[in-house]
Amino acid sequence: MTRPVVGIIGNMNLLNNDYPVHAGGTMNSAAVAQVAGCMPLLIPTDPRFVTVEELLARCDGFLLTGGRPNVHPEEYGEAETEAHGTFDRCRDAVTLPLVRACVARGQPFLGICRGFQEVNVALGGTLDPEIRDLPGRLNHRMPPEGSIEEKFALRHVVRFAEGGVFERLMGAREVMTNTLHGQGIRTAGRGVVIDGWAPDGTAEALYVAGATGFTLSVQWHPEWNAASDPVSRPLFQAFGDAVRAWAGGGTGSAQWRARA
């Protein structure tokens, strides 16, 4: 049986520091293929090569991946500063309208890290450029040293809203997650419901109220050990269910809501 297609948002990168490529982490493809049960398709996220309309027609769902470049602050009405880091304006040009179109159509997506922030910005929200510089906040950035296992290690609790979507999906009010981000949500966008928080109050889980499709997004990286992690696995399984529901009948909502 043909698997439904999940478009994985790619990131601009340089191979050997000089050859431009669109890249995607192997762990993203593994999570989509082995846990969500869908076919991963890496998208060259550049409006010169793809249009939102083409992506909506050819993919059944989307994985909005993490990435080192940040959403440009002009996208939420602020001037660029050194604290905002590096940017990928081509990705902004594709993913922000893609999120809005998916919300309107009910087409499923799962947002991760930068993807979590993209969902918020696409719907009119704003971001803090550097969480660790805010009073009372933790350093959520990836450890600069150590193995990949150490960098993706579980580092803090995320507490979900009582009776909310994430608590029902996970079967737990609190879970342990990794943390590898510098920016975070300052103000929530239209319909964006923050459904989980780190101990310092940083937003960690969201969904879009009123959307008919799967819109769950998280600030951590559930693609790491997705097949065996008790937090990552149900998230990708629910996403896969929603993508199959969309591919089979044009709706992305009923199956994941029932499961959650």
Q: Which of the following is catalytic: 72, 140, 181, 221?
A: 221
Q: Which band of pLDDT confidence, cut at 50, 70 and 90, is reported for residue 250?
A: low
Angle at 37 between CA 193 and CA 204, to 5 degrees: 25
Structure tokens at 245: 């529901």
In the predicted model, is pLDDT for residue 246 greater than 50?
Answer: yes
Q: Model's pTM, two decimal places?
A: 0.93
pLDDT digits (tens, 9 = 90+) for 169-228: 999 999 999 888 878 999 999 999 999 999 999 999 999 999 999 999 999 999 999 999
Helix (H) or strand (E) holding 195: strand 192-197
Radius of gyration of the chain measured on its C-alpha atoms:
17
Query: Who has greater pLDDT, 80 or 4?
Result: 4
Coil vs helix vs strand at 169: helix
Domain extent at residue 30: 5-259
> If you count them, how many residues does the chain have?
260
- Name residue 20's beta-bridge partners: 14
Q: Which of 75, 130, 167, 223 is catalytic?
A: 223
Amino acid making up residue 2: T
* Annotation says 38 is catalytic: no
Question: What does the block give as tokens for 200?
Answer: 């310092």
Active-site entry in 84, 113, 140, 204: 113
DSSP codes of every residue in 1-38? -PPPEEEEEPEEEEETTTEEEEE--HHHHHIIIIIS-S
Q: Are 61 and 107 spatial neighbours (Cβ–Cβ below 8 Å)?
A: yes
- Find the CATH number of the domain harbouring 88: 3.40.50.880
241-249 mean pLDDT: 95
CA dist 214 to 2, 21, 75, 148, 241, Å? 21, 30, 24, 30, 10
Q: Is 223 a catalytic residue?
A: yes
Greatest mean pLDDT range, 74-83, 149-158, 233-242: 233-242
Residue 23 near residue 11 (C-beta atoms within 8 A): yes
DSSP-derived pairing of the beta strands 217-218 and 109-112: parallel
Is residue 254 very low, low, confident or very high in pLDDT (cuts 50, 70, 90)? very low
Told to judge if 113 belongs to the known catalytic residues of this protein, a careful annotator would answer yes
CB 45 within 8 A of CB 90: yes
Number of domains in the chain: 1
